[in-house]
Structure 1
Amino acid sequence: MTDFVVAGGGLAGLVAARQLAREGADVTLFERESTVGGRVRSEQADGFTFDRGFQVLFTAYPAVRAELDLGALSLRRFRPGAILARPGKRSTLADPLGDPRALTASLFNREVTLRDKLRVLQLRRELSRTPHAALFDRDDASIAESLRDRGFSEAFVRNFAEPFYGGITLDRSLSTSRVVFEYTFKVLAAGDIAVPADGMGAIPAQIAASARDAGVQVETGTAVERVEADGDGVVVELPGESIETDDAVVATDPAMAAELTGADIPTASRSCVTQYFSLPPTQQLGTDGRLLLNTADARPNQIAPMSAVAPEYAPEHTQLLSATFLGGQDDDDAALASAVREALASWYPEHSFANLKLLRTDRIEFAQVAQPPGFTDDRPSVDAPDGAVYLAGDYTEWSSIQGAMVSGRRAARHFRTTPRHSPCSACRTLHVLTSDSVRRRRAVSFILWGRRHPDMEIKSRHHLRSDAIDEIRETLAAQLGVELDADSFEKVELVDSEWDVVLVDGEPLVLYVEGETPEETQPFLTVKGANAYPPERHVVTVDAGAIEFVSNGADVMRPGIIEAGTEIEAGDLVVINEESHGKFLAIGRAQVDGDEMVGEEGRVVSSLHHVGDDLYELSI
């Protein structure tokens, strides 16, 4: 009997299977198609590479950086921004911070107002300081409502947001949740839009190869027909046989997952049609590797110069374009191709497109999960099915490569925190205390696992002078991006403790952390302080599986980290929060830079102070 069965070889299933195998489980993955990938697939024919629909990779997705070897994918990057196209007119609009060469063209672009451009910069600054997890905790609204509430003009909404974010969400009405807009805006400001040189199918192929290396048995061409909890185990029905397993992860599309498990899973979706065309190299469109957005109508919504971005997508002396229509289309392939030719001819009256050749049409009924405002409240939990059956799929998070990968890792980790499972070796590694961290905790009388909280004796207490208060405010603003709005600051020295605490309006919200020299001793927020004044920087976010251990004072290991601020340097103080609700759990010291924290193994943050310890329980 195998330990684990994973049904579905998309990104979520592959990530879950690989993670389980790396933790020592015996895992078999079944995929009904002949190759893995789910919705992320590519095919090669006649020297062309065709992704299944227009698909791209956002390189700044935290899970992408954690789960993939981006260097090995030989990424080919789109230029930032887009070309806004309408009959007889084309203009470039880009983020000048991401593409300084486009500054002049973007500044003088009249499709959006100068005030819109300034608001984009303001939004960029705001979201760069907002942890990804915190985006899910705000009051929700549609993208259209959110943009108008932020003061963006109707021209900006119509000429840029509708075709660009409509293309991302497959919803040109912008009725999708603002969470999707804000999350994608944040990662686009921090990274690139790219495709692997060998096509998007190279992404699941890479994960599948490393999953096999970890010991996963991958069975393609085998459909799972039923998954049913049976006592302490699970029965998995395959064509012609049944398999008994300890646990199972169902990582199929929502409709199939609902059918296999009987769980209440939302199945509403969005569809699209993507066509691929060849064009002689003599007819250069001058996109410089940018998307062409249709500002006039949605036929098509956008055209992507695939071979201009990734020359490997087409044979030499040929161009490959993709054109995407949003939603299901009643017109036949030829009629849609005619609409593409007409759009291109109106945008480029200097060219003839009679020799634009249709190569392929993909009609994708289930391209994305529908994500209206409030969709996060309806997401099924990982353990929604009965018994030892777990769900993985972007519908449990949000519809994206990021959501799929996070859901796979969450499903793999969830079984460790259920009562029927004792911690595996990887879990034990997560909460083993290092000698350095034990010494630090002894210095302040922390007893981590016994949860003893002896009274902390006060040595002295006095109000701070204005210059000391200014130093605290300035330091926390610079390091964490927080502004302390308070009237009273009292410093409390504790007997036999390396901590000095500052009461902010009577609450222990700030502590002084000793450095190697007195000059390096600095103020920082306590856990209570972080929850009262949520930091925007120096934040490390952990997944649900790590909460128990971090809350008990464990040092933080790479496998538990979802994301970490890129501004973090080794030796910096950091704040640890959890991904589900954005609550802060601990204060620690970074052992590596932030961009090295997400990964497979190793201790990266030493815990200094956590919820439930003596300092947290301090009452004065």
Structure 2
Amino acid sequence: MSVDDVDVLVIGAGLAGLRCAAVLAAAGSDVRVWEAADDVGGRVRTDLVDGFRCDHGFQVLNPAYPELPRAVDVDALRLQGFGPGVAVRRDRGSTVWVHPLRSPARVPAMLARGGLGPRNLVSVARWATPALRPRALKAASNDTSMRDALDAAGVRGELRRVIDRFLAGVLLEDSGETSNAFVLLLLRMFVFGVPALPAGGMHALPRLLAEPIEARIDMQHNVVGMSRDGGEWRVESPGGSIRARHVVIAADPVTAAGLAGLPEPRMRSVVTDWWAADEAPTDPPMLWVDGRTHPTGPVLNTSVISAAAPTYAPAGRHLIAASALVGADGVEPDEAVVRRHAGDILGTDAKRWERLTRHVIPGALPAQPPPLAARRPVRLPDGRWVCGDHRDTASIQGALVSGRRTAEALLRAGK
């Protein structure tokens, strides 16, 4: 079994690992990346099913993420944006709540349709205003749960239902126990950017990150052992061994915890169903949520993906997605139930939709309870390094920042 030597071994080619390795390589480090799977991306993957692009779980990319343009050429992703706002299925009919900064001309009509009276607007402004001070949020010592913060601000009624259900699809939890400071950081991103999808699917992002370091990435290298070897680390996989001065653990949060000897983070799970249709179910190209007092099913959000991102479907056909939570007992909602509820939200009969695939992601996102810990240590007591969205914020932004932050800390330590 051959043994190679490198300066830095990065374990995991997800967003954080790729970002870390790229920063190290750009600084002149001899870096190698080991990835257990057959492709880069980690939890960010896209399947091609009968000509349709189906991302693993409902994922979107917000161009307002500050780290994104630092990491990649955003124009190369050819982003396709959703409509600015959210569409709401109501107890009677439906409505669209537009982004007031991007569609100001439509605000009066939106207010006239009800659900957003002056009292509601004052209460939501009271809750959301701290989002304009992101540094204060990251350092907040009085952080509480989103649920308690919304209660304290007096956000109630239909507006509260829509906020709760929209954010449940973002946070992958419907109890409101996520850090309110974290939610407000995400809200800031929604204020300044409209979620979008790359023309090639979400997997285009990790592939773009990997391009400058492609020759340094070894696929299907699963780590089976790691030990100290003098002043270096010896890391073993079924295909060989490697010695490295530094090891960066950038695997998924659960695997990383096992390799690093850290407590396993609590993870959120989601199931996303994908269907094809010959006719577009609805308009506009927005994310839809169920704002009714009594929802008719488990769907967190649904959308006609191809209406926002035409490259996700073959010409003349349409792609629909809907996401729901996996139960605490691990039980997945029945596809027929998810389909029926998605059609109900979109205001169409879903019986003729063609089932494409279902993605069950048991560890889609780390939980982010209060108080917000936006910057966890990246160096372990034994000298190894660790990065990922479980070390910063549970988001694409957090993963990219964590990778860069770890690389910069390692470079400083090596001087």
Q: Are residues 1:363 and 2:336 paired?
A: no
Structure 1 residues 257 and 126: alpha-carbon distance in aligned structure 2, compared to 1, 3 A threshold: closer
Query: Aligned pair in 2 of structure 1 residues 72, 155: CA closer, same or farther (>3 Å)?
Result: same
Matched, 1:299 2:298: yes
Residue in structure 1 matched with residue 263 of structure 2 by the alignment: 265
Residues 276-315 of structure 1 mapped to structure 2, 5 A cutoff? 276-281=274-279, 283-286=280-283, 288-296=284-292, 297=295, 299-315=298-314
- Secondary structure, in 3 states, of the residue corresponding to 2:28? coil
Residue identity (%): 32
> In structure 1, what is the Cα distance between the partners aligned to 2:167 and 2:332?
26
The AA in structure 2 aligned to 1:382 is: V
CA distance 1:153–1:87, change in 2 (3 Å):
closer
- Point out which structure has higher relative CO (alpha carbons under 8 A, 6+ apart): 2
Pairing 1:50-129 to 2, within 5 Å after superposition: 50-86=54-90, 88-120=92-124, 126-128=130-132
Residue 111 to residue 230, structure 1, CA distance change in 2 (3 Å) = farther
1:232 match: 231
Which residue matches 1:442? Answer: none
> 2:322, 2:338 within 8 Å by CA — same for their partners in 1?
no
Distance in 2 separating the partners of 1:369 and 1:101 = 38
Question: What is the distance in 1 between the residues matched to 2:138 and 2:19?
Answer: 23
- CA displacement at 1:206 relative to structure 2: 0.3
Structure 1, gaps ≥5 residues long = 423-620
* Letter aligned with residue 321 of structure 1: I
SS at match of 1:301: strand
- Segment drifting more, 169-178 vs 88-97: 88-97
* Cα distance change on mapping 1:162 and 1:19 into 2, 3 Å: same
Query: Structure 1 residues 53 and 261, CA, compared in 2 at 3 Å: closer, same or farther?
Result: same
**Which amino acid is the alignment partner of residue 366 of structure 1?**
G
Is 2:149 aligned against 1:151?
no
Q: Secondary structure of the equivalent of 2:373?
A: helix
Q: 1:101 to 1:50 in 2, by over 3 A?
A: farther
TM-score by length of 1: 0.62
Do the aligned partners of residues 190 and 241 (structure 1) sit closer, same or farther apart at CA in structure 2, a change above 3 Å counting?
A: same
Query: Aligned residue for 1:530?
Result: none
C-alpha distance in structure 1 between counterparts of 2:26 and 2:332, whole Å: 47
- Distance (whole Å) between structure 2 residues aligned to residue 49 and residue 79 of structure 1: 19
Instruction: Determine the C-alpha separation between the residues in 1 that align with 2:228 and 2:110.
Output: 58
CA distance in 2, matches of 1:316, 1:198: 15
In the TM superposition, what are the counterparts of 1:502-581 in structure 2 within 5 Å?
none
Return the letter of the residue paired with 1:414: A
Describe the shift of the 1:332–1:95 C-alpha distance in structure 2 as closer, same or farther (beyond 3 A).
Answer: closer
> Is 1:30 the equivalent of 2:34?
yes
Partner of residue 396, structure 2: 401
Question: Could you tell me whether the CA contact under 8 Å between 1:107 and 1:114 is conserved in 2?
Answer: no
2:138 aligns with 136
* Residue 177 of structure 2: aligned partner: 175
CA shift in 2, pair 1:155/1:342, >3 Å: closer
Amino acid at match of 1:381: P
1:244 aligns with 2:248: no
1:323 corresponds to = 322
State the shift of 1:295 in Å: 2.1
Name the count of aligned residue pairs.
406
Question: Of 372, 376, 381, which aligns to 2:373?
Answer: 376
CA distance in 2, matches of 1:240, 1:355: 48
Secondary structure of the corresponding residue to residue 394 of structure 1: coil
Aligned ranges for residues 338-349 of structure 1 at < 5 Å? 338-345=337-344, 348=347
**Structure 2 residue aligned with 1:192, among 191, 194, 216?**
194
Residue 406 of structure 2 corresponds to: 411
Larger radius of gyration: 1
Q: CA deviation at 1:134?
A: 2.6
Alpha-carbon distance change, 291 to 110 in structure 1, aligned in 2, over 3 angstroms: same
Deviation, 1:125, is 5.5
State the Cα deviation string for residues 73-117 of structure 1 (Å, max 9, x = none).
Answer: 000001111111145521111222122243134212423433222
The answer as to whether partners of 1:277 and 1:357 remain within 8 angstroms in 2 is yes
Contact 1:74 1:197 in 2 (8 A): yes
Partner SS for 1:97: coil
Distance 1:54 1:12, change over 3 A: same
Question: CA offsets, 1:360-385, max 9 Å, x none?
Answer: 100110010011112528x7521125
Partners of 1:314 and 1:320 within 8 A in 2 = yes
Q: Is the 8 A contact 1:30 1:222 kept in 2?
A: yes
Distance 1:25 1:363, change over 3 A: same
TM-score by length of 2: 0.92
Q: What residue identity is the alignment partner of 1:369? A: P
What is the alpha-carbon distance in structure 2 between the residues aligned to residue 178 and residue 376 of structure 1? Answer: 12
- 8 Å CA contact 2:10–2:248 kept in 1: the answer is yes
**In the alignment, which residue of structure 2 is the partner of 1:428?**
none
| Conservation of the 8 A alpha-carbon contact between 2:165 and 2:290 | yes
Query: Taking structure 1 as reference, are residues 40 and 211 closer, same or farther at Cα in structure 2, changes over 3 Å only?
Result: same
For structure 2, the residue ranges without an aligned partner over 5 or more in a row are: none
Per-residue deviation at 1:347?
A: 5.4
- The SS at the match of 1:62 is coil
Q: Distance in 2 between matches of 1:295 and 1:407?
A: 35
Shift of 1:279: 1.6
SS of residue in 2 equivalent to 1:415: helix
| 1:511-559 Cα distance to aligned partner (Å, 9 max, x none) | xxxxxxxxxxxxxxxxxxxxxxxxxxxxxxxxxxxxxxxxxxxxxxxxx
